[in-house]
Amino acid sequence: MTGSFRRTGRIVPALALFLAGGCSSAGSGNTNYSQFYQLVKQGWAATMGKVRVTRDQAAAIPYASLGYNLDDGNQVMLVLATDTNGELLWTSPSRVVIVTRDGRIIRTLGLPHDLSGFTTAGGPPPSPAEALHQPFTSTRQEDFPELGFYGVAVSCQARLVGRQKITILGQAITTNRVDESCRSQKPEWSFVDSYWLDADNGLAWQSRQHINPKGGTIQIQIFRPPG
């Protein structure tokens, strides 16, 4: 497999190494990859309790990165592997993959319950940041193979809640919170996703999202944004 990790100013080949999981790095040029692998392997694989990525751990990885956790469990770091026309693929040696667009999760792989497909008519889904200007409604189709459901119609309404401060890696960030209320009829499912967007550029610094009718909430925090 081939791929690349995004680093400010350049692209560094690395996806094959990360997905190899057990492979070790050799040479000074791969030091960062080895550090990242050890962080994931030693920091979270066999740890009980609520663990969070520290500022020093995040700073040691000079690539676009995020932390995610399921249902308030341990936080795990993912690194940006590819950017395909705005679809960002984040991954790690744990073989978990999360694909986002404008902060919204559109596909996952390796989680207890995955979202396998996400489409909207007429192009990409509207960005949550659009709600900063006015509320909007949207409908998308989602696939859940483990449940035997494909093309599930999910209708959503997004609205601005207001200004909120959040803290990521000990740093306070002023954001605008957007809530998106969604429901489907078959299967019967309703939920509210929340996005904390940068007050200046609309970047989703933090989000809390639902991706599967079987339950589970994913919280995401951006440690180092792309670009």
Q: What is the CATH number of the domain that holds 145?
A: 2.40.360.10
The number of domains in the chain is: 1
Token pair recorded at residue 204? 């989703």
Residue 207: pLDDT band with limits 50, 70, 90: very high
Q: Which domain holds residue 149?
A: 5-224
Structure confidence at residue 37 (pLDDT): 54
Please report, rounded to a whole number, the percentage of residues in the chain having pLDDT higher than 70: 78
Structure confidence at residue 94 (pLDDT): 80
> Is pLDDT above 50 for 69?
yes
Query: H or E segment at 119?
Result: strand 117-119
Q: What is the pTM of this model?
A: 0.81
Residue 36: pLDDT band with limits 50, 70, 90: low
